[in-house]
Structure 1
């Protein structure tokens, strides 16, 4: 039950995004790194369980940004919304991250929902995406972001967010337009606004702000399992931003294959330990301990400077990592931030 929280409320940042990836903790996943595809320089971690090696969140040097949450499908008779998609949800993220530089967000929305294969064969998802750009006619407005879903009948049904200042938005494993707002989303939005107000009032530096945002992502209000099996208990996960380890440990899967082998351009950017692993065949479902596996914070200031911090909470064998010891930090400036053409 992942969660994404987005705000435009901090005056020093055009956008703040924080995200918890909840997953079976031994699902093979790379650490964040720069990789190249379709001439795009992409910063993300990658899911090594599926052949597509997609991701749940990422950003390019030219400002294409995307983050994904899935739906928990339950209707086994709904062919349009399969429980086990034949195509990776993570591939929806990389579809935008690898899009041509001259394709704007509106054109991508139309292409994904109304052309070719689009979202066919993909399990339920919401994709928050857009091109991070300051509007050319203003100093403090951002180009809007779209929330694409395979619950949208057409591009006209897609919500757009983040145009206005002072806003906060939340997205988890249900439709963004669902009137029944999950407790974790409501709580997260309130906590993010509290952190921003405190940071502005106290003049917190960026590192202090980041730690306060990690505190939000660590908010654990999950009820006790009290004997429920996992399938029954999973619905309680909508009540907590952070998901502590639940379930029973399983044998770890075979190690994941090197990203460099999947894409030769990545060889110099990949972590050494990933270069010696072999990817397992995709399995219908992971088993074992489930919980918040990764936490990501992205800050974008008004000059287009990006701070990307990802925190790993577990190692590849399912052992916990002390807070902060699994952090990786990246900083760069978005090319074309002011609307100028690249290259």
Structure 2
């Protein structure tokens, strides 16, 4: 199950984010790229004769990978040129009879991420949170938590950034939404359970071991590593922390309860899933028999694997992608995604599947008029 760790403790970077996407290895997923979204709900930015007037929506430039399995083409993590940032984790539902919180909703969880990334840049985080919770924006979606907000310096406070919200379909109203990263020297972690603030010591026993270990390791990394390359290496080491049992042939049902203990999840699955993985690799060999391409290259030339008879729940389950985002105090972003598998389930050597993007957030220090 996925994990995201965030910190405002590094002296050079206003925000550091690291993320593991745990998923079925064969689930078709694009590489990170810039794409354009058109806001569906333009923000009200003025009035004519006392009547509110909505500005025509302009395309928003988004950087993310995209899920190719569902028609929504959602994602689990992304950022826009204007600094809208979002990252999602699934909520592990244990009650399959809870109608209010379905395990699998009719709508894609990834659509929650793109709802913010593709929102009108003039819409404030507060307004988006209100719209999603009060207007039914999270209805019909499987359990999830969404960290979202605008990456920019806080108004009137050059030592902090604007806080990020955590939306969940466990929130009944806006007043229950946690806000994080608005203060320096803080570290936060979120996986597939209800978010617990580091100060909630009375609930510390509910904190998943992977979150506790990840926060402690993150603190050491940002304290000791100042150079970008060394910092990234240390952060990838955290994302590779493996506490999973050595038996990778256990059934998924047996392994799911163990996912809370390990930041990194090695690919595992029972006999049928092992066979599906082998079949996918064989199809890949046949498809590329005229190419002597390493897995990292196949990743770029294949849009998605062959049709999967069991949908996205095919093959082994484990950590599929890893992402590191660094945002310095000038608003410069370094976005690195590491792919660990090609579309046919062949492992990619560490670093060979890396892609890095660099850009400066537009409006990082500009106090814009936002729609509330």
TM-score for both structures, normalised by structure 1: 0.88
- Is contact 2:210–2:262 with CA below 8 Å preserved after alignment? yes
**Partner SS state of residue 158, structure 2:** coil
The 5-angstrom pairing of residues 219-298 of structure 1 reads: 219-225=241-247, 228-247=250-269, 248-250=274-276, 251-252=279-280, 273=301, 286-298=313-325
Whether the 8 Å CA contact 1:64–1:129 is kept in 2: the answer is yes
Aligned to 2:150: 131
After superposition, residues 1-343 of structure 1 pair within 5 angstroms as 1-38=1-38, 39-115=59-135, 117-177=136-196, 179=203, 180-199=206-225, 204-225=226-247, 228-247=250-269, 248-250=274-276, 251-252=279-280, 273=301, 286-341=313-368
Provide Cα deviations, 1:132-167, integer angstroms capped at 9, x if missing partner.
110131221100000000000011100000011111
**Deviation string, structure 1 residues 220-260 (Cα, Å, up to 9, x no partner):** 111344985320221111111011111124144999xxxxx
Given that residues 24 and 286 in structure 1 are in contact (C-alpha distance below 8 angstroms), is that contact kept between their aligned partners in structure 2? yes
Q: How many residues align?
A: 321
CA RMSD in angstroms comes to 2.3
For 1:282 and 1:12, the matched residues in 2 are separated by 48
Structure 1 unaligned spans of 5+? 256-270
Task: Give the conservation status (yes or no) of the 8 Å contact 1:249–1:289.
Answer: no
Q: Is the 8 A contact 2:308 2:314 kept in 1?
A: no
| Other structure's SS at 2:157 match | coil
Distance change in 2, residues 1:249/1:18 (3 Å): farther
8 Å contact from structure 2 (residues 62, 117) kept in 1: yes
Q: Please, what TM-score do these two structures have when normalized by structure 2?
A: 0.82
Larger Cα-atom Rg: 2
| Cα deviations by residue, 1:256-310 (Å, 9 ceiling, x for unpaired) | xxxxxxxxxxxxxxx97356x6995996651221111000000000100000000
Unaligned runs of 5+ in 2: 39-58, 198-202, 285-298
How many angstroms does 1:56 deviate by?
0.2
